[in-house]
Structure 1
Amino acid sequence: MTWAQLIPLAITLSMAGLLLSVALETRFGDLLHLLRRPSLLLRSVLAMNVVMPLFAVALGLAFVQQLEHAVVVSLMAMSLGPVPPILPGKELKAGGPRAYTMGLVFVSAALSIVLVPAMIALLGHVLDKPVQISMGSIARIVATWMLLPLLLGALVRHAAPALAQHVVRPLAIASGALLALACIPVLLQVWPKMLSLLGHFTLVAIIVFTLAGLAIGHLLGGPDPDERTVLALSTCTRHPAVAIAVLHAEPDRASVLAAVLLVLLVGGIATGPYVKWRAGSHAPAGSRHA
């Protein structure tokens, strides 16, 4: 196996490991939490899978003359996928209730198998630029690298809680370190391309995209401020692997990869003040939903 094959595999495994480490402290009931709260489920789907993609399309069309094509399509693609594995830990630290945080990860991953291809077909029809992606390609990503770690972690917690508690921290540290190391050569490779995309209104567009996602999720998150935090962060931050899969037919794949990573990095920085604000003002743990 070559380095070109090992590095993406290491990134994928490390992200799955991070998700597994969070799932080791999660109950099966947490994963199914949204099925017991249909109103919150509906608002979550509305924010993540309807309003945010429509805003991304409107933003892309508004900046279509100023932005590189790779940035425009990456913004649209990054509005479609499920919650990324790197986000639940951040949401929990910001005060998000574990049941809703993990339930949203699980449901968004499962629904993305159907909703991502459906939204792509709809947007392609509206924009008169047909793009096709099979449910199978999305299913392979989310089932193997998201649903499986979630279910495995909850199973280990249920069957062997002492073991789960013993391995959760080492697994999280090892996965985080592997992700950081594996990302270094990728960033070094795409860095010149990322810099070339920074001209014009790229940063402005990505920041507007991120802030709009925060606002959409926060407003549709309901009366619980901690649930608002989770939906806000989940609406503006999506799985990069799904976005790259969506853009598989783009001819300039190097620019697409650079643009997706740029959206992820700039978005992560732009959400910093919001996370700090929510972490400092969230409700005490005893008052949050179990």
Structure 2
Amino acid sequence: MTLAQLIPLAISFSMAGLLLAIALETSFTDLVYLLRRPSLLLRSVLAMNVIMPLFAIALALVFLQELERAVVVSLVAMSLGPVPPILPGKGLKAGGPRSYTMGLVFLSAALSIVLVPAMVALLGYALHKPVRISTATIAGIVGTWMLLPLLLGAALRHVAPSFAQRAARPLTIASNLLLLLACIPVVVQAGPKMLELVGNFTVVAVIVFTLAGLGIGHMLGGPDPDERTVLALSTCTRHPAVAIAVLHAEPDRPSILAALLLILIVGSIVSAPYMKWRAAQQADALRASKHA
């Protein structure tokens, strides 16, 4: 196996490891939390799988003449996928409730098996350019690298809670380290192409995309401020592997990879102040409740 084949595999294993680590502290009840909250489930699907993709299409049309094709299609593709494995940790740090955070990760992954191919087909029909991605392809990605680690972690917590508690932190550290090491050569290789894409309103479009996702999720998150935080972060950030699968037929793969990395990097920078603000608000609320 070559290094070029090992790096994507290492990234996939590291992301699965992050999910497994969080799932070791998650119950099966948490994973199906949204099934007991149909209103929140509906609002979550509406934000992530309806409004955000429509906004991404509108944004792509607005900037169509200014942006490279790779950026345009990557923005749309990134709006279709489930919650990425790195987001649960961010959501929990920002004060998000574990039940909703993990329930959204689990159900967004499961629903994406049906919703992503359906949305891709609808987009192809609307653009008069038939585009297809099989349900089996999406099921293979989210089933192997998302649903399996989540179910395995919850099962280990159920049958061996003390082991699960001890293993969670070391696995998180190891997975983060592996992800960092695996991403370095990817960023180095894609760096020149990323720099080529910067300009012509590319960064502006990504900032607008991220801010819109935060706003849509925040507004539809409901009265609970912590659930608002989780949905906001989940709406603006999606799984890159699913986006890559959606764009499998694009001929310029290096530009697609560079565009997706640029969206992830700029999106992380733009959403960081929101995370800090929500974490500070939660801390203020906790202090106020203690003094009440």
- Both structures adopt the same fold (TM-score exceeding 0.5): yes
1:157 aligns with 2:157: yes
Shift of 1:19: 0.7
Deviates more, 1:120-129 or 1:187-196: 120-129
Deviations 1:233-260 (A, max 9, x none): 0000000000000000001011001101
Residues 128-207 of structure 1: pairs in structure 2 closer than 5 A: 128-207=128-207
Q: Secondary structure at the match of 1:223?
A: coil
User: What is the aligned-residue identity percentage?
Assistant: 76
TM-superposed deviation, 1:129: 2.1
Alignment of 1:105-120 (within 5 A): 105-120=105-120
Q: Deviations over 1:38-63 (max 9, x none)?
A: 00000000000000000000000000
Structure 1 segment 75-94 matched on structure 2, within 5 A: 75-94=75-94
How far did residue 195 of structure 1 move? 0.4
Q: What's the CA shift for 1:125? A: 1.2
CA RMSD of aligned residues (A): 1.0
Q: Distance in 2 between matches of 1:35 and 1:171?
A: 29
Distance 2:113 2:101 in 1: 19
Shift in Å, 1:128: 1.8
How far apart in 2 are the matches of 1:28 and 1:91? 19
TM-score (norm 1): 0.97
> Quick one: which amino acid aligns to residue 174 of structure 1?
A
Number of the residue aligned with 1:234: 234
Aligned-partner Cα distance in 2 for 1:60–1:243: 15
Shift of 1:261: 0.9
Within 5 A, what are the aligned runs for 1:89-108?
89-108=89-108
Structure 2 unaligned runs (5+)? Answer: none
In 2: Cα distance, 1:213 partner to 1:166 partner = 35
Distance 1:284 1:253 in 2: 48
CA distance in structure 2 between the partners assigned to 1:5 and 1:123 by the alignment: 31
Tell me the residue number matched to 2:61. 61
Equivalent residue letter for 2:263: V
Match of 1:220 in 2: 220
User: Which residue matches 1:50?
Assistant: 50
Q: Which amino acid aligns with 1:46?
A: L
Residue 123 of structure 1: how far off its partner (Å): 1.2
Q: What does residue 17 of structure 2 align with?
A: 17
Query: 2:269 aligned with 1:269, yes or no?
Result: yes
Q: After the TM superposition, which residues 29-44 of structure 1 pair with which residues of structure 2 at under 5 Å, given as runs?
A: 29-44=29-44
The runs of 4+ residues in structure 1 deviating greater than 6 Å are none
User: Number of residues paired by the alignment?
Assistant: 286
Taking the aligned partners of 1:59 and 1:259, their CA distance within structure 2 comes to 15
